[in-house]
């Protein structure tokens, strides 16, 4: 097992990474407050992992469960209300602990429920997808989607612990594994050129879930995010670099309908738009662009936006992004491979050209 900490003073918490850690009872008992536990999961994950977690905790706690439908399309206020109803019907008090067992959708909604139930109760993240293990379970962003924008309703609320069992990756469909790898690659692009090079060398083994290498990739991804979050918990500054590709990607998700493209797929295409714009601005070489394309493709991820998009739909959707400040669109771009910046200072002509050229490439490829 590998362990690291998100350093936030009295709200610091550990991240445990390793094979079988979800069956280490001591990791849970350190983080559970009171004698009540509500496990929030979805139908897919429940069939595989819920019974064993219930059995692990039942002897010492009142354990109740809330099983949600599976999919990004259910990341809504209505589903959030389902969690609240489960807590109230089971008479959970303000010392209950919510455990999020599942991917990013479950983690975000269970975390938002924890942030707001009786004005805040403890919660534990047990992420079961690669994307949630390296990104959404760490850092305390919680929330739900709105038809007009992704994650527009939520709260910053830190977990008591993040318990990452690499064994759960073996049950992931290949498409979900690829989607998670988009966020892994993102860390190399924004803050760690050496990690990017390591991923180029090891991607084949990572996609085959080599135990040591996937553990290393998760550890280095979580370490990168923990370091950024420790500097800027609520995204007032440097934390925004974690959103490389996300402004473009969220536009894709909102336009197509949540769930048609997986979050990581949209982020991959969004990262390539950001890489292309960074190249047009003179920050990257053609080789940097080619290496980025090759790495995303090695992870079986899209590198071009969907045909359903247009320049107008990108502009309209991106105008609703949370990073818009005083009417100005801010983008996460690269100043070099392995170094990111957040800026509103980019040529509009280059911005439009990178989208139009990518859309044309999608048409040619189809």
Which candidate in 225, 280, 317, 323 is catalytic?
Answer: 225
239 is catalytic: yes
22 touches 164 (CB < 8 A): no
* Structural Rg of the chain based on CA atoms: 20
CA distance 38 to 170: 25
CA distance 87 to 287: 53
DSSP assignment of 334-346 equals EEETTEEEEES-S
225 is catalytic: yes
175 is catalytic: no
Q: For residue 358, what is the DSSP state? A: H
54 touches 63 (CB < 8 A): yes
How far does the chain reach from its first CA to its final CA, in angstroms? 45
Tell me the β-bridge partners of 325: 328
* Residue carrying structure tokens 């991106």: 318
142 touches 108 (CB < 8 A): yes
Which candidate in 92, 220, 263, 323 is catalytic?
Answer: 263
Which candidate in 243, 265, 323, 330 is catalytic?
Answer: 243
33 is catalytic: no
92 is catalytic: no
183 is catalytic: yes
Which candidate in 150, 186, 250, 317 is catalytic?
Answer: 250
Which candidate in 246, 280, 323, 330 is catalytic?
Answer: 246
11 is catalytic: no
291 is catalytic: no
DSSP assignment of 267-323 equals HHHHHHHHHHHHHHTTSS-HHHHHHHHHHHHHTT---S--TT--HHHHHHHHTTSTT
53 touches 20 (CB < 8 A): no
105 touches 75 (CB < 8 A): yes
2 is catalytic: no
Which residues are annotated as catalytic? Answer: 119, 141, 183, 225, 235, 239, 243, 246, 250, 263
């Amino acid at each position: 097992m590998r362990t690291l900490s998100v350093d936030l003073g009295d709200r610091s918490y550990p991240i445990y990474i390793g094979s079988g850690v979800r069956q280490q009872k001591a990791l849970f008992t350190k983080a559970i407050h009171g004698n009540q536990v509500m496990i929030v999961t979805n139908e897919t994950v429940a069939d595989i992992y819920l019974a064993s977690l219930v059995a692990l905790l039942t002897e010492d706690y009142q354990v109740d469960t809330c099983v949600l439908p599976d999919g990004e399309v259910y990341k809504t206020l209505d589903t959030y209300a389902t969690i609240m109803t489960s807590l109230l019907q089971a008479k959970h008090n303000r010392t209950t602990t919510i455990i999020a067992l599942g991917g990013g959708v479950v983690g975000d909604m269970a975390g938002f429920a924890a942030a707001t139930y009786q004005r805040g109760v403890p919660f534990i993240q047990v992420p079961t997808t690669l994307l949630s293990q390296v990104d959404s379970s760490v850092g305390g962003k919680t929330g739900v989607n709105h038809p007009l924008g992704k994650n527009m309703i939520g709260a910053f609320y830190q977990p008591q612990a993040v318990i990452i069992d690499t064994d759960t990756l073996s049950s992931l469909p290949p498409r979900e594994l690829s989607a998670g790898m988009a966020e892994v690659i993102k860390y190399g692009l924004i803050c760690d050129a050496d990690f990017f090079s390591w991923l180029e060398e090891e991607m084949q083994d990572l996609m085959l879930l080599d135990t040591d290498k996937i553990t290393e990739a998760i550890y280095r991804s979580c370490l990168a995010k923990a370091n950024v979050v420790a500097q800027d918990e609520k995204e007032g500054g440097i934390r925004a670099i974690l959103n490389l590709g996300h402004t473009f990607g969220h536009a894709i998700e909102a336009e197509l309908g949540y769930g048609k493209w997986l979050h990581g797929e949209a982020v991959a295409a969004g990262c390539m738009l950001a890489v292309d714009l960074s190249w047009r601005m003179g920050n990257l070489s053609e080789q940097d662009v080619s290496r980025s394309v090759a790495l995303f493709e090695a992870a079986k991820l899209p590198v071009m936006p969907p045909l359903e998009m247009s320049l107008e739909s990108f502009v309209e959707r991106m105008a609703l992004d949370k990073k818009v400040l005083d009417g100005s669109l801010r983008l996460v771009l690269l100043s070099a491979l392995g170094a990111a910046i957040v800026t509103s200072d980019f040529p509009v002509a280059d911005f439009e050209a990178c989208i139009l050229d990518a859309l044309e490439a999608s048409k040619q490829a189809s």
